[in-house]
């Protein structure tokens, strides 16, 4: 298990077509990989911003992690929807940490990840919104994320410190009462009417 990429971004814009109007929406979803070690504080990675702290950021959603294994799925979905191949570099899902070997099926609420000198705690899966649709380039991307369970997960910062791409990830089991997969499955079943 390791960090493939550390990704940060400032607040930028997404342009969303609604009826005959194109709306400009502020977002922090545009993340790019950084090649140097980064400081991680209680509110997230230094240099990273969130546009809507009601749904991203804060103490319980300070860092967003996403498994690199899901990138092939999204490349196929985008090819099918857009009829063209476009690169999906790390950070394309809006994640701060692109992780290898740390899937939703393997982490539970309360599990801890030691990365570099930081200690992070799993808090909840991502619940995608319309901004993810715009970022991916097709209108049903958020529904597909829920359906597939490829949500990634949020992390609380228990011990601030430093981490970098290439760092090993050590998983420390928590109480193991509720898994990320279980929450995703409940969400999927709850939104079944919307998915099909």
Where do the domains of the chain lie?
2-195
Q: Express as a percent the part of the chain with pLDDT over 90.
A: 83
Question: What is the distance between the alpha carbons of residues 77 and 67, in angstroms, rounded to a whole number?
Answer: 16
Residue 19 is predicted with a pLDDT of: 80
Residue 196 is predicted with a pLDDT of: 43
pLDDT tens by residue, 127-182: 998 899 999 999 999 999 999 999 999 999 999 999 999 999 999 999 999 999 99
**pTM score, whole prediction:** 0.94
Question: What is the distance between the alpha carbons of residues 185 and 24, in angstroms, rounded to a whole number?
Answer: 33
Stretch 16-21: mean pLDDT, rounded? 83
Question: Of 182, 14, 2, nearest to 104 (Cα)?
Answer: 182
- The answer to which of 30-34, 44-48, 54-58, 120-124 has the lowest mean pLDDT is 54-58
Instruction: Select the CATH number that applies to the domain covering 2-195 from these four: 3.40.1160.10, 2.40.33.20, 2.40.160.40, 3.40.140.10.
Output: 2.40.33.20
Provide the H-helix boundaries in the chain: 71-82, 130-136, 141-148, 180-190, 192-195
Q: Does the structure show a pLDDT above 50 at 61?
A: yes
């Amino acid at each position: 298990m390791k960090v493939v990429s550390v990704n940060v971004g400032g607040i930028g814009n997404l342009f969303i077509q609604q009826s005959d109007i194109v709306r400009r929406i502020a977002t922090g979803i545009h993340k790019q990989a950084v090649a140097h070690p980064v400081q991680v504080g209680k509110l997230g990675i230094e240099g990273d911003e969130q546009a809507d702290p009601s749904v991203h950021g804060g103490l319980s959603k300070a860092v967003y992690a996403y498994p690199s294994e899901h990138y092939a799925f999204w490349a196929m979905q985008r090819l099918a929807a857009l009829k063209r191949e476009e690169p999906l570099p790390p950070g394309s899902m809006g994640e701060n940490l692109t992780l290898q070997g740390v899937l939703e099926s393997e982490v539970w609420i309360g599990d801890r990840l030691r990365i570099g000198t930081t200690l992070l705690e799993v808090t909840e899966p991502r619940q995608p919104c319309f901004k993810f649709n715009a970022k991916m380039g097709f209108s049903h991307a958020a529904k597909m994320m829920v359906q597939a369970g490829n949500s990634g997960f949020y992390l609380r910062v228990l011990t601030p410190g430093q981490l970098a791409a290439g760092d090993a990830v050590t998983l420390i089991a928590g109480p193991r009462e509720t898994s990320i997969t279980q929450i995703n499955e409940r969400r999927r079943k709850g939104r079944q009417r919307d998915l099909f």
